[in-house]
Structure 1
Amino acid sequence: MSVRTGKDRTAPLTFSDQELFDLAAAWVALSLAFAILMTPISTTYVDVGRLLTMAALSFVTVGVAFLLHELAHKVVAVRYGQVAEFRADYGMLFVALMSALVGFLFAAPGAVYHSGRVSERENAMIALAGPLTNHGLAALFLPLSLLPGIFGVVGQMGVWINLFLAAFNMLPFGPLDGKSVWNWNKVVFAVVFVPTVAVAGYVVLFVGPF
């Protein structure tokens, strides 16, 4: 997710200590949320072994999906002469963990905030960079998903998580990436959004993460 602000400056691709801390915090919280979502939990029973396994696998797959999604926003924003930094939304990280407990993940861990003069098209390109990166990652994980054992599980989770993140972020609401694309060009939005949601919906509902 990316959010445009109003300042006009230019800077190289660098990372502040606060940005690195926020990226790490969001990485850990999202990994735990996905692990909780994929582990049977009730008021009387928690499969601790499965929860730990899913947490470890999610740390790898969610970590790659989330970090590269946000880095794509940042790289493209800097390419357009923006100052760009990721900031975690700790309230929404808490919501992600709580929603996972009831069987649905609302994943809005934060955003890359960028400042400077950009056109509506350039702002849309910055927004599109994240979901399109998830599409590319899903394609890279796909061959791995065909392998047996743990590598196959990692591949299947990688495909599932990346398609989920791409579809969620393309929703045309609030600060989500889809809103910037919708505001710029509704045809481009439809070309990306429709197949993204269709494929993600099929994988989430009928294939599953593992």
Structure 2
Amino acid sequence: MLERISVRERRDLIIAWLAISIAFTLIFIRPSGKVVPEVYLLFFGVSLVTVGIGFVLHELSHKFTAMKYGFWAEFRRDNLMLVVAVALAALVGVVFAAPGATMIYGPTITRQQNGKISAAGPIVNLVLCIPFAILLFAGPFVPLTVFSLNVVSLIGLVGLQVNAMIAFFNMLPVSVLDGKKVWAWNKGIFIALFGAALVAVFFSYYYIYL
């Protein structure tokens, strides 16, 4: 499987992964105001793990679904959008998670194929919400703390929020995002995925008030 990921694609994935990990770190530490370097490094490490899993698997799911249909597909980073993602996170506390896209090469793609390839990414993120939610609730039973933070619960919470946000953002039916292609293919599946992503975002941010 790894032999299907070119050197350039690996480089682009790693650079994009690092950039959006920084963006999400800025989001998570923003409510705390002034943060000591140790806490920033902790959140950066957690973001690297959670964003790495969510972002990389999202893009690879597009790639391998496309390859299943006989296309060649590779992720390409967008340097401008990487800068925008970090800048927006630092200035206004919003992550615009579009650091690049999986480019598909080959014969003409059908609407159904394009819809299924596009749906693969958000589906992976929604599935990943489940193990991270389990970690979130299991955290209090695992006494692993750093700076008075339960690391297991923190990984679960950040992983749940990151994957919910990636799924929801990509399911927006606008521009070149996955949601527009899924909507064009099957509106029922679009509604199901968009609704699931919306619920996941709501739960990941407001569960403590429920």
TM-score by length of 1: 0.86
What is the match of residue 87 of structure 2?
98
How much does 1:157 deviate?
Answer: 1.2
Shift of 1:45: 4.3
Structural mapping, 1:182-193, within 5 Å = 182-193=183-194
Aligned residues: 195
1:17 shift after superposition: 1.4
Q: Match of 1:137, as an amino acid?
A: L
Unmatched segments (≥5 aa) in structure 1:
1-11
- SS at 1:114 equivalent: strand
Give 1 or 2: higher helix fraction.
Answer: 2
**Equivalent of residue 103 in structure 2, options 88, 110, 113:** 113
Shift of 1:160: 1.1
2:131 aligns to what?
140
Q: Report the equivalent of 1:3.
A: none
Q: Distance in 1 between matches of 2:53 and 2:207?
A: 21
Alignment CA distance shift 1:45-1:156 (3 Å):
closer
AA matched with 1:97: V
Partner of 2:119: 128
Q: Deviations over 1:31-87 (max 9, x none)?
A: 111111111389x94532221111011000110000000010001000000010000
1 or 2 for the larger relative contact order (CA 8 Å, sep ≥6)? 1
Q: Distance in 2 between matches of 1:180 and 1:13?
A: 28
TM-score (norm 2): 0.86
Q: Paired residue for 1:24, among 6, 10, 14?
A: 14
3-state SS in 1 of match to 2:4 = coil
Q: Which residue identity does 2:44 align to in structure 1?
A: A
Match of 1:170 in 2: 171
Q: Where does structure 1 differ by over 3 angstroms across 4 or more consecutive aligned residues?
A: 44-47
Distance in 2 separating the partners of 1:85 and 1:25: 15
Residue 23 of structure 2 corresponds to residue 36 of structure 1: no
| TM-aligned CA distance change 1:84 to 1:13, over 3 Å | farther
- Asked if the contact 1:40–1:47 (Cα under 8 Å) also holds between the matched residues in 2, the reply is no
Q: Answer yes or no: is 1:54 the counterpart of 2:43.
A: yes
Whether the aligned pair in 1 keeps the contact of 2:129 and 2:200 (CA below 8 Å) is no
